[in-house]
Structure 1
Amino acid sequence: MKLYSLFLLMATATVFSPGPGVVMTLTNALRYGMRGTFGGILGIAFGALVVAAVSATSLGVLLAASALAFTILKFIGAGYLVYLGIRLWRSPAFQLAEQSAHEASLGKRFLEGLSLQLTNPKAIFFFLSVFPQFIDPGKSYSLQFATLVFTYSALVVVIHCLYALFAKRAKAWLTSKRGGRTVNRAAGTTFALFGAALATARQ
């Protein structure tokens, strides 16, 4: 497996960045406490497995056999990361929306997290254009695929649990204009740098 450390950093930044999944975890933590977030977090993590299986399996095989396809998709992925970074930098301060609380079972929260991840363009594009480029065509594809996918899903669980754990302490800062802008600009800069790194990666 090649550039695993770079994949780990990019996947961490992707999961950490503000988005629907983060908002769901934070709001569930503030409504129901730490235990009330587990269903949604597991749903998001399982959704990542599903998206990866659908998006990256056949595409990864194609990229392993085609240098031209690798090059084209590499620059598409790099361009997308830079675009995402610029958009995050320029977007309004990230804030938690006030939503009415509702009781929900573990299963219902799992389904909410799953459906959210299955329709999340950030996750879909990550697995389509970025993920396959970390596969070494000279080694076992299935082993590398499983390692990368489970790494991503494990990061979802760990990072979202950290978000939930510190939700109450971070609420005032996250909902402030200054805090929200800092989150967006830090994430935006990170994505732009990773886009540049991806553009220079070799097959």
Structure 2
Amino acid sequence: MTVGSILTLLGIWVAAIVSPGPDVVQITRQGARSKRAGVWAALGVMTGNAGWILASLLGLSALLTARPALLAWLQLIGGAYLAYLGVSSIRGGLATRRQAARAVHADHPSGPRDSVTPEAPPKRTDADPTAGQAWRAGFTTNLANPKAVLFFGAVFAQFIEPGMSWGITAFIAVLLIAVGLAWFVSFALAVRAFSARIAENSAVIDIVTGAIFCLLAAVMIFEGAVGLLGG
């Protein structure tokens, strides 16, 4: 692989991870809970990406290119899981909004009041996730990420040359993993700079996150079904 090919692959990789998608949405959602959760979710995302990178370098991309039906099945499975994440996220956001409404009703019963005291943002109905829970959220979201499936199954395959030396293979893996790790962890930390605003709108973030996941799930399931039926 030439230096130009490596730089081209790196540019495509940066564009892929920076563009909004399920990984970024999940890190934002976890980061709304705590900085630790956001960072661990970012580490989970990159654990999944590292697996994709290593698997692709070891032949997964070529296998997916040669067997389109396998890619279609991955899209169906990933879409089903994204749908599950989406529904769970929407339910969590709606539960938080209902709790907030009950809290406002309890603190402001009907009848005149002499003064109004500013209210703190409502607490979430779910406790802050543990490091393991946040990591699993990022990891499983990445495995079901349609961008990851398509990127490594189609785009990445174009840069893998038969008979590449182990040195080049290791260099590419380390480069892509390091760049991805730097981006996702930096993004998770940046989310906390807006923690107050995010906390105030955590229920909306959950609902929007769920809607995005459900939309992506529908696209993945449709494309997977078309791939199987067309094959």
Alpha-carbon shift at residue 130 of structure 1 (Å): 1.6
> Alignment length, in residue pairs?
141
1:127 to 2:152 alignment: yes
Q: Greater Rg, structure 1 or structure 2?
A: 2
Alpha-carbon shift at residue 111 of structure 1 (Å): 1.1
Alpha-carbon distance in structure 1 between the residues aligned to 2:154 and 2:172: 14
Alpha-carbon shift at residue 37 of structure 1 (Å): 1.6
Alpha-carbon distance in structure 1 between the residues aligned to 2:137 and 2:129: 10
1:4 to 2:22 alignment: no
8 Å contact 2:56–2:157 — kept in the other structure? no
8 Å contact 1:56–1:127 — kept in the other structure? no
SS of 1:5's equivalent in the other structure is: helix
SS of 2:58's equivalent in the other structure is: helix
List gaps (5 residues or longer) in structure 1.
Answer: 64-68, 74-96, 176-203
8 Å contact 2:43–2:185 — kept in the other structure? no
Question: What is the TM-score when the length of structure 2 is the normalising length?
Answer: 0.51
Q: Write the letter of the residue equivalent to 1:37.
A: G
8 Å contact 1:45–1:153 — kept in the other structure? yes
1:164 to 2:188 alignment: yes
Q: Write the letter of the residue equivalent to 2:129.
A: A
Q: Write the letter of the residue equivalent to 1:23.
A: V
Alpha-carbon shift at residue 123 of structure 1 (Å): 0.7
Which residue number corresponds to residue 108 of structure 1?
133
Spell out, residue by residue over 1:167-191, the C-alpha distance to the aligned partner (whole angstroms, 9 max, x if none).
Answer: 255687xx9xxxxxxxxxxxxxxxx
8 Å contact 2:32–2:191 — kept in the other structure? yes
Which residue number corresponds to residue 191 of structure 1?
none
Spell out, residue by residue over 1:43-83, the C-alpha distance to the aligned partner (whole angstroms, 9 max, x if none).
Answer: 111111222344452256679xxxxx89xx9xxxxxxxxxx
1:147 to 2:148 alignment: no
List gaps (5 residues or longer) in structure 2.
Answer: 69-89, 97-123, 202-231
Q: Percent of aligned pairs with the same residue?
A: 28
Question: What is the TM-score when the length of structure 1 is the normalising length?
Answer: 0.57
Spell out, residue by residue over 1:72-103, the C-alpha distance to the aligned partner (whole angstroms, 9 max, x if none).
Answer: x9xxxxxxxxxxxxxxxxxxxxxxx9945432
